[in-house]
Amino acid sequence: MAPKVWLNGELVERDRAVITVFDHGLLYGDGVFEGIRSYNGRVFRLEKHVRRLFDSANGIRLEIPLTPQAVGDAVVGTLQANGMKDAYIRVVVTRGEGTLGLDPNRCPKPNMFIITDKIVLYPQELYENGLEIITASTMRNHPNAVNPRLKSLNYLNNILAKIEAIDAGTLEAVMLNHLGYVAECTGDNIFIVRDGRLFTPPIAAGILEGITRDEILDIARAARLEVREENLTRQDLYVADECFLTGTAAEVVPVVRIDKRTIGSGKPGPVTKRLAEEFHRRTRG
């Protein structure tokens, strides 16, 4: 069965899922998206993802042509049409076709599409043995320029930092904000453990409020771990007992080296393992 893509209300074969080169999403990165996961046929935290999609759209004054309920139904319908149970789902809304100019008012109708596919960000051995990352020189976008809470189609800021990571022989990079504090990685939120307490940068540090991040915070609080959302420096990362990243695609991946410095014992720590196991249970149980 050929893969199907939901495109503006219709399920079409992947090779026929096309939009015009005059779409402002392509020309200017003018649009928003969500990455969602399904496990055993169930879409994980669908309502939260859809709400964030609409929040991002409102932030750039883009009107989504469906209700939140209809978007959720389209996600589930696309998943079922492709016969997939464990999948990565990408929902994209663009400004639509316009002219060769910035004026969004010349885009009368948004384009929307939904893709269901597989995604593997990191090899399995990194979940078992831990990931090495660096600190990027590329600064996270200033919140008053392009707010990182908007999950927009313009990911060039993240891509530039990702290139730095690849050049350094690693797969991920920490990005600092305009004040020099730790914000997030190119595609994941970051956590550290120090003296049995869990730390992660606050929303005000200029991060995307991750759905998986929120889930880990909920798991940690339910386990009676002390949780702090506060500004972190690179030194806080270097002296941490444990470190790990979270994201919809990445899930929970431990970090064992940052900027050539070994974190803790150099192996995934017990708190990281416990949180990852509970996340696995919640998503697949």
| pLDDT of amino acid 274 | 98
Give me the tens of pLDDT residue by residue for the chain, a chain 285 residues long: 688 999 999 999 999 999 999 999 999 999 999 999 999 999 999 999 999 999 999 999 999 999 999 999 999 999 999 999 999 999 999 999 999 999 999 999 999 999 999 988 899 999 999 999 999 999 999 999 999 999 999 999 999 999 999 999 999 999 999 999 999 999 999 999 999 999 999 999 999 999 999 999 999 999 999 999 999 999 999 999 999 999 999 999 999 999 999 999 999 999 999 999 999 999 987
- Out of 4, 48, 109, 151, the active site residue is 151
- Clarify whether 151 is annotated catalytic: yes
Question: How far apart, in whole angstroms, are the C-alpha atoms of residue 150 and residue 252?
Answer: 22
Global pTM reads: 0.95
Taken in order of first residue, the domains within the chain and their CATH numbers are 4-117 (3.30.470.10), 124-284 (3.20.10.10)
pLDDT digit string (tens) for 151-167?
Answer: 999 999 999 999 999 99
